[in-house]
């Protein structure tokens, strides 16, 4: 068996950070080496997260003094802007980077600066970064030094629409519409009134309707797949559960798509994708069917008006974040892509 890779996690105290720890602690080819936290340096990881007792025996390190250059791979589970300020020195040390924030998702620095209100610190590194959606860009990921791990909403939209876009079956005279819903963990592990139990429970609301940061990311990738610019309407919603994401997508089909067996198209396209499950005709997915696992499930429902409805579910913290990041690491390091990710969904 190949030598274990030394892994560092910058920002190990958030939800994506602890999800990375959960998955990597049992990964047979990973040696957890450095886990940083600015506010909790010196604290035993298992004291903060008792679920990791017996599995993770490290303390959090201060990011100002942590030696990340000893790692083979570093995951950034941090706010936007952190990874790009450390990328150049880590690359010089031969470290591979997987950023779970937005620093390396948008190739257009003007768009990045417009949405994230900060200049991009390393545009030259950005140019070589690969968008880490394995089912679409696996070959590029294999050769990559820097990965921009996709956002959670974009993962559902792009994998939901890719087979149609690849075949040219979407009529762009009508906009693509994504009505998406996420659990509260998508907002991150922080003290905020809107995510308090008494505020979020027994309620549902739309947010980011005037503009959400995932919108330009989705549009950039849709345009790339479509080889043209298209109209896209995206409305995210907060729903009163901890984890889970459901995106309902509406598209107008081209005349050439009429009569095509779209169910067979999707089943064929994803036949060899372990983490993408196309449900049988007539079945609809539930978020609980992917809870805690790296799977994404898709269902198709043709409409008599020439439109198609797609329903896509995933766990926003796994396939939507940490699980996808581990999947990318496996590809970059030449491991079996499923390694460390063959986790059954939790039910109930």
Residue 24 CA neighbour count, 13 Å, CB half: 32
Residue 239 CA to residue 253 CA, distance in Å, equals 30
Continuous segment of H or E residues that includes residue 313: strand 307-314
Gap between the Cα atoms of 205 and 237, Å rounded: 5
Q: Copy the structure tokens of residue 163.
A: 């087979």
Enclosing H/E stretch for 75? strand 73-76
| CB burial of residue 197 (10 Å; 0-12, 13-18, 19+) | exposed
Q: Of these residues, 18, 74, 152, 251, which one is catalytic?
A: 152
Residue 152 a catalytic site member: yes
DSSP assignment, residue 3? P
The torsion angles phi and psi of 15, rounded to 5 degrees, stand at -65, -40
Question: How many Cα atoms sit within 13 Å of 33 on the Cβ side?
Answer: 18
Report the candidate in 281, 290, 203, 213 with the shortest Cα–Cα distance to residue 241: 203
Active-site positions read 152
């Amino acid at each position: 068996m190949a030598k274990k890779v030394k892994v560092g996690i910058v920002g190990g105290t958030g939800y994506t950070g602890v999800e990375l720890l959960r998955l990597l602690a049992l990964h047979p080819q990973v040696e957890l080496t450095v886990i940083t936290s600015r506010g909790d340096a010196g604290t035993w990881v298992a004291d903060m997260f008792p679920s990791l007792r017996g599995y993770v025996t490290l303390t959090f390190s201060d990011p100002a003094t942590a030696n990340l250059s000893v790692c083979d791979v570093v995951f950034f589970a941090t706010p936007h802007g952190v990874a790009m300020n450390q990328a150049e020195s880590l690359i010089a040390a031969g470290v591979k980077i997987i950023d779970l924030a937005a620093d390396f998702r948008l190739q257009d620095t003007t768009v990045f600066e417009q949405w994230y209100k900060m200049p991009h610190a390393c545009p030259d590194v950005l140019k070589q970064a690969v968008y880490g959606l394995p089912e679409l860009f696996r070959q590029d990921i294999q050769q990559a030094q820097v990965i921009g791990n996709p956002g959670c909403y974009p993962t559902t939209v792009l994998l939901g629409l890719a087979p149609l876009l690849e075949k040219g079956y979407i009529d762009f005279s009508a906009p693509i519409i994504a009505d998406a819903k996420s659990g509260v963990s998508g907002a991150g592990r922080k003290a905020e009134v809107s995510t308090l139990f008494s505020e979020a429970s027994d309620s549902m609301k739309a947010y980011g309707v005037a503009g959400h940061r995932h919108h330009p990311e989705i549009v950039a990738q849709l345009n790339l797949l479509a080889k043209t610019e298209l109209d896209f309407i995206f409305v995210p919603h907060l729903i009163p559960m901890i984890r889970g994401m459901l995106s309902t997508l509406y598209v107008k089909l081209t005349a050439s798509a009429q009569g095509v067996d779209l169910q067979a198209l999707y089943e064929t396209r994803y036949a060899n994708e372990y983490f993408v499950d196309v449900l049988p005709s007539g079945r609809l997915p539930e978020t609980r069917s992917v809870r805690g696992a790296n799977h994404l499930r898709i269902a198709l429902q043709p409409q008599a008006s020439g439109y198609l409805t797609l329903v896509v579910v995933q766990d926003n913290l796994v396939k939507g974040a940490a699980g996808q990041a581990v999947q990318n690491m496996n590809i970059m390091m030449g491991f079996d892509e499923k390694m460390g990710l063959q986790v059954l969904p939790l039910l109930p």
